[in-house]
Structure 1
């Protein structure tokens, strides 16, 4: 049996437990000993992270060789065009080479969705739109670079799912424990589509940090 912890990482939180620059980290929200992130999520991105103390499981989840698909919701600047979606589905060329084809589709703003703190800065004259993008690679800032390459810069980025594990019901800063059997791979099947909805449960108070206090 193996345990994982799924965590909804808030905006501007480091995906590690320490930071020499005093930024918020996982330790502000999680006080469970001897667990580590299975993969990373950018400081300015939000959403699903998986943590575990099982090294083999950590490798299975995080290593690109296993092609575990990750689903992102991206709010982009402008009304996303059919041609831009077609480019994402075919694969786009970045500075470090062409990407694999992605599953890309236009979606309505996920509902319900928590407000970001601080909020996204908009330009009044330019509309925004949302897309769902599913990839199996793990390049640095890949989703942001992909949408920029097709002419639609990302304003807000949320990781909604990793394989079959999804945010379902987790507010920002909350985590939940899941115990897996030795056949855990069926839970992380890269071939099943992830749910588009968050099923976010609103609550009136912010999660209380359980680690060190955040530096201001």
Structure 2
């Protein structure tokens, strides 16, 4: 029986979290980052405009566990405006978002305001000129992963997301200094 392989990657902005895209418009895919073995799958997704920690595996059981509500996923979001303690409190209790054409109340989450400089984790593409208004960082930790959930949660409390970076899955943290793709023996996820 072949041994499963596991990868930790820093998905860049502008890439899809998939290997095949059958639409006419050309997209950047994960296969451009590394020669992954056949059968490799992304565990969860980050949309094209999001970036950060993404796990890949050839083991479906590992994928199912990581996507479960047992594993926390933490995101840093740069938002339009100076996010308030009141908004953080509302987010932490759960907010109503749209999902599959239905209204959905998110599960409680952990939310904390972050004191980062605006250029934290600089990227090539400019987000927005600060002259167009204030921006701030917030950490949001969820255990579920509905489509564009963190973006929708923050918009629901009046703070649209300008940049979204997944920084942690369970106990695995994004290492900004590491190579874009790292193969690991096994995921030890708490």
What per-residue deviation string (whole Å, max 9, x for no partner) do you get for residues 154-192 of structure 1? 100000011111112456x71111112xxx5xx311xxx
Name the counterpart of 2:34: 30
TM-score (norm 2): 0.87
Name the counterpart of 2:181: 175
Q: Which residues in structure 2 correspond to 1:25-174 (within 5 Å)?
A: 25-34=29-38, 35-62=40-67, 64=68, 66-95=69-98, 96-109=103-116, 113-122=120-129, 124-170=131-177, 174=180
Distance 1:23 1:170 in 2: 26
Query: Which consecutive residues of structure 2, in runs of 5 or more, have no partner in the other structure?
Result: none
SS in 1 for 2:131: coil
Name the counterpart of 1:194: none
Distance 2:117 2:182 in 1: 21
Alignment: residue pair count: 181
SS in 2 for 1:75: strand
Query: Which consecutive residues of structure 1, in runs of 5 or more, have no partner in the other structure?
Result: 190-216
SS in 2 for 1:157: strand
Aligned residues: CA RMSD: 2.0
Contact 2:18/2:42 (8 A) holds in 1: yes
Distance 1:103 1:87 in 2: 11
Name the counterpart of 1:19: 21
Structure 1 segments of 4+ aligned residues over 6 angstroms from their partners = none
